[in-house]
Structures are given as structure tokens and as C-alpha cells.
Amino acid sequence: MNLLLVVFLVFLPAFETTNRTACLPEVSIREFVKFWEKYEEEWSRCQGGQCLEEDKRSRNGSKCDIQEIKLQVETTLNNFKDEMRQLVLNLTNQFQHSIEKEEKKLTCLQKYKQDVVTLGNGKSYHFSTVLKNWYQAKDYCVEKGMRLASPKTQEELNILHGKIRDIEDGNFWLSASDVGRKGIEFRWLDGEVVPISSSLWAKESKQPDHFGDGHEACAFISKYTESNKLLDHECRTTSVAGSICEAVDCV
């Protein structure tokens, strides 16, 4: 049984859903094999694109010759080759993208060296215990090629809290603030709103409690709280917290 027949048998179910299959017998695979073998000898006598004899079997009132069957098989085989080429191209591109991403991450971590630790969420952070106000903390992260961290989920807050429990000084600024929107709303540095009703705030401490008191308020976390939640304080207070910088290009 030649390769063309094998391909045809594999794709026979697909043929039955197309309009080009009117000439094919609507039979089982076993019967179709017999049908095909019957015409293999006839196929060898086809010359110049014309068959000496045509298939007298009819379906839906039409007649089909060997050339029509051959055309269907060749068309499907060509389509299959095109799909396989595209599949290989897609897989190659995905593999190359994965390699480039890992190389970029490695280069980034080498740049920050021991200053950066990668946590359970796959993101890389730098923790500074030097007390600063929020503006100084934000500038400090920028100078290191990073930005203040933006833990937008409780899972990320849990991960950061787990890390700062091992650090002597336990308060750290994050990127959320109402700077530029004083008393209106908190936003992360990328502009995403952090509603004051969000479950990320430490409601047991009535947070945020500096919001709307006439000063700009900024978010921080502390290892001394009962829950792994956001707290807020006046942004210009120097003695509140250190900084958590996020190495966004290492993700």
C-alpha cells in the first residue's frame, strides 16, 4: 500500500465533510481499501492527465474518475504539508522567544547581582532597609533601574510579607499612592486604581486611615501587622519605611 493511500486513509474522515468528496464511496475504511486497490492498476495506465477508463461507481448521481480521487488526495497532502510547516515555524518561534526571555532574565539578575532575590511569584525584588520617605524610595528604585513594587494580589502580598519577616527593619514602601489625586483615589505606579474598599487594605486597622486627611497618602507593608495587608501613611514622613524595589525587566 503506497504512501498516498496511507495519507488518504488518515484523512478520510476529513474528506467526508467537504464538497469535493461527492465522487468517493461512502463506505468503511476496509471497503475503501478494496476500492482503492481495484483502481491502482488503472491509475498506472493514466497518461497525459487523462484516464483510459473512469470509475463507473456513482454517488449522488455523479461519476468520478481516478484523476478526481488523485486530485483530492494531492490537495489534502499539500494542505497537510502547509499546516506542518506552519506548526514547525510556530514551535520554533516559541522556543526562540523562551530562550531570549531566559537570557534577558539572566542578564538582568547578573546586573543587579546579590541585590536582587527572586521570590515564589517568579518576580525579582531588592529590599532596602534605609528609612526614606515615599518620594525618596521611589527615586531610589529608579536609580537602581527598578521601580517600587506593586503587589496587586493577596498572594503577592503574602509572598512579600513572608520575606520581610526575616528582615530586621519591618516596614517597606510600595508604589500605591494618591499623589496627584490627593483624597480621590490610590493608584499603583502603572496607573491601576487601588480602591479604598479593596480587601488588600488592613481593614482591622481601619486602613487606609491617612487617606483624605489633607496630606498625600502612600502605601506600605509591615511585618508587625496582624494580617498581610496594605497600610498607608503620609508620603513625606521619613522615618516610616525602607523600600521594596521590583526588577520588572527580570520577569
Q: What is the pLDDT of residues 150-164, one digit of tens each?
A: 999 999 999 999 999
204 and 164 Cβ atoms separated by less than 8 Å: no
pLDDT value at position 149? 96
Q: How many CB atoms lie within 10 A of CB 158?
A: 15
pLDDT value at position 221? 96
What is the Cα–Cα distance from 43 to 55, expressed in whole angstroms?
A: 11
177 and 186 Cβ atoms separated by less than 8 Å: yes
pLDDT value at position 239? 83
Q: Which residue has the higher pLDDT, 139 or 101?
A: 139
Q: Which residue has the higher pLDDT, 94 or 70?
A: 94
pLDDT value at position 58? 37
Q: Which residue has the higher pLDDT, 77 or 154?
A: 154
Q: Which residue has the higher pLDDT, 65 or 165?
A: 165
Q: All 3 cell numbers of residue 191?
A: 496607573
Compute the CA torsion angle 180, 224, 156, 140 (nearest 10 deg): 50
Residue 64 has pLDDT above 80, yes or no: no
Question: Which of 223-234 are b and which e, b meaning 16 or more Cβ less than 10 Å from the residue's Cβ?
Answer: bebeebbbbbbe
Compute the CA torsion angle 221, 193, 150, 231 (nearest 10 deg): 0
The per-residue pLDDT of the chain, averaged, comes to: 75
Q: What is the pLDDT of residues 12-55, one digit of tens each?
A: 444 443 434 445 544 455 555 555 565 555 555 554 444 444 44
pLDDT value at position 37? 60
Average pLDDT over residues 109-125: 77
pLDDT value at position 59? 39
Q: What is the pLDDT of residues 179-226, one digit of tens each?
A: 988 888 999 999 999 999 999 999 998 999 988 888 899 999 999 887
Residue 170 has pLDDT above 90, yes or no: no
State what percent of residues in the chain have pLDDT above 70: 62
Average pLDDT over residues 113-126: 82
